[in-house]
Amino acid sequence: MKHTLAILVENKPGVLTRVAGLFSRRAFNIESLAVGVTEKPDTSRMTIVVSGDEHVFEQVMKQLNKLIDVIKVSEIPGSDAVNRELALIKVGVDSSTRAEVMQIVTVFRAKIVDVGIKSLVIEITGDEDKINAMEQLLRHFGIKEMVRTGKIAINRGAKTVKVGK
């Protein structure tokens, strides 16, 4: 099963290696990983999507908690959370396909952020499904390059993942 983890860590060099090492050693594949600073400058937040055996997953959660630089580990539930990814997609176009691509962009409420003679760069944010759907459609026109950020996620409502006292 897939799990989305929000991990609060010390904003220091080397922390990412420590966290990633725990997953790789137990043959866990990290499907995506996004890191950035939080509302507190000394704290970073990692959002990691992993899949693997349930029992092993529990072990990894406990091992993560043991890392000195890890302050808090929470699982973000699939429902009741806002999940977002950002992708930049470079699509090959010519005069006959340009309009159609632009139409898709409008339908998905994506943005065109660069226009070339033979290509467009499209920026899209959304959950994984939305981005996959867009990618599927654009494949017909020829995707020349794509980059995705990896998922970030936040609980809906008042619930927060925060450093305790």
Query: Which among 28-36, 61-69, 79-87, 133-141 is the span making contact with another protein, rule CB under 8 A?
Result: 61-69
Q: How far is the CB of 6 from another protein (least distance, A)?
A: 15
157 burial (CB, 10 Å; 0-12 / 13-18 / 19+) is: exposed
69 makes contact with another protein (CB under 8 A) = yes
**What 3-state DSSP class applies to 69?**
coil
Query: Judged by CB under 8 A, which of 11, 32, 63, 155 binds another protein?
Result: 63
Query: Judged by CB under 8 A, which of 39, 54, 66, 129 binds another protein?
Result: 66
**What 3-state DSSP class applies to 157?**
coil
Taking the C-alpha atoms of residue 11 and residue 48, their distance in angstroms, rounded to an integer, is 16
Query: Judged by CB under 8 A, which of 5, 9, 48, 120 binds another protein?
Result: 9
**How far is residue 9 from each of residues 3, 67, 88, 145, 147, measured CA to CA in Å?**
18, 9, 28, 32, 25
Q: How far apart are the first and last CA of the chain?
A: 32
Query: Which among 58-66, 74-82, 108-116, 141-149 is the span making contact with another protein, rule CB under 8 A?
Result: 58-66
65 makes contact with another protein (CB under 8 A) = yes
Q: Applying CB under 8 A, which residues contact another protein?
A: 9-10, 14, 17-18, 21, 25, 58-59, 62-63, 65-71, 163
